[in-house]
Homo-oligomer: A and B are copies of this chain.
Amino acid sequence: MSAAAPARVAPVDPAVLRARAYLSRVAEPPAPALAGLVEEVGPVEAAQRVRDGVTEGPGALPPGVAKETAARRGTDRAEADLALLAARGGRLVVPEHPEWPGAALAGLGLVAGPDGAPGLDGPAGRDGAAEPLALWVRGPLRLDDGPTRWAGIVGARAASDYGLWVARDWSAELADRGVTVVSGAALGIDGAAHRGALAVGGPTVAVLACGIDRAYPPKHATLLEHIARHGLVVTEYPPGANPARHRFLVRNRLIAALTAGTLVVEAAARSGAMRTALVAEALGRAVMVVPGPVTSLMSLGCHELARRPAVSVAGRVDHVVEEVSQVGDGLAAPPGTPTRPTDGLDPGALRVREALPLRAARTAARLAHDAGVDPADLTTHLSDLEARGLVVEDGGRWRRRPG
């Protein structure tokens, strides 16, 4: 859980914030060439070069950066965007800021496919992969509080009642146990996950595929306000950005990166939730699926994922807590196993007990025969059974003790 409030952190140079706010709008994420330039010359210099748009001579934009920024480099709304963010109580978290979740995001430059997420059919490649240039956030939680004990809970929008129940119930229990539930604020599983955490006063993080000023889906406007008040709303898209389809896939990689593990509650075959799981796997994070009825299309994706060696089945909340905790912390206890009065009995004694009919007595000789145990061992077996109250002697014959 967060300790220091973000306000106490040393402020970032306003020029850096403005530069990153501009860069965050000027290229569609993920923008690997631009990210490379920023890393090389710093955000202020990179922003200046993109604005200047010089393509030849010293200080020229690399061709990849020119391509990524050609359509929007004339649009600089950084001041207005930052003012809008401040008016809503938000902040721009940037790599120059101590709250930047650098360790969590570091893998993103290495694992994604052409659209920022690995494909279902092949190994993840490096093309098109990049960390975000900045993150627009609202809420009291610190972004660098994870990824340990942060769990992504993702799943279908068209979830079943079963899936919605699991998402809500497990998220509430996770929040109760100090795990931060991270999801995408979508209809269905996402919304149920956020609501479950909020219901027990737990923190929750919504990662958006649109600008922080957009309430999407509209039905979740109130939910998003709750999350911004009690947890964190995060996006790499600048204010006003629409939630286009490809942005959901790109956004999903952030859910995977910001968490120690991703739990897929329900997923149809070939769904965004499956993609999130595959990014998490590529990042080396835990991937878990909730099993469901094989008759449910909404569990099909979960069951397919479960066949991957790196994916585990979460039958109980304990398994999720275990996977997102530090090694050795939060280990799942085995489920309560029923005990029987015959537990620990010698196999021979067990056979003697079972050779006794429910309502008749037997001589020792008959018992040895029926059980197939050495008659020489019978006295020991019967003493064991008598000591446990399982058998009783009755005029030289033995019977089961009732009850």
Contact = CB atoms under 8 A, between A and B. Distances in A.
A286 B379 CA distance: 42
A316 B269 CA distance: 13
A70 B165 CA distance: 59
Contacts of A165: 295
B337 A313 contact: no
A372 B338 contact: no
A364 to B, nearest CB: 11
A354 interface: yes
Q: How many copies altogether?
A: 2
A306 to B, nearest CB: 4
Interface stretch (A2-10, A43-51, A103-111, A297-305): A297-305
A322 to B, nearest CB: 10
State the 5 A-B residue pairs at the shortest beta-carbon distance, nearest first.
Answer: A303-B315, A28-B372, A291-B291, A244-B354, A306-B313
Interface of A: 27-28, 66-68, 70-72, 75, 114-115, 128, 162, 165-166, 242, 244-246, 269-270, 290-295, 299-300, 302-304, 306-307, 309, 312-316, 319, 334-338, 347, 350-351, 354-355, 368-377
22 contacts: A27-B372, A28-B371, A67-B376, A70-B374, A71-B368, A71-B372, A72-B369, A242-B370, A245-B354, A246-B350, A246-B351, A269-B336, A269-B338, A291-B292, A291-B293, A291-B294, A291-B299, A292-B292, A292-B293, A292-B294, A302-B315, A304-B315
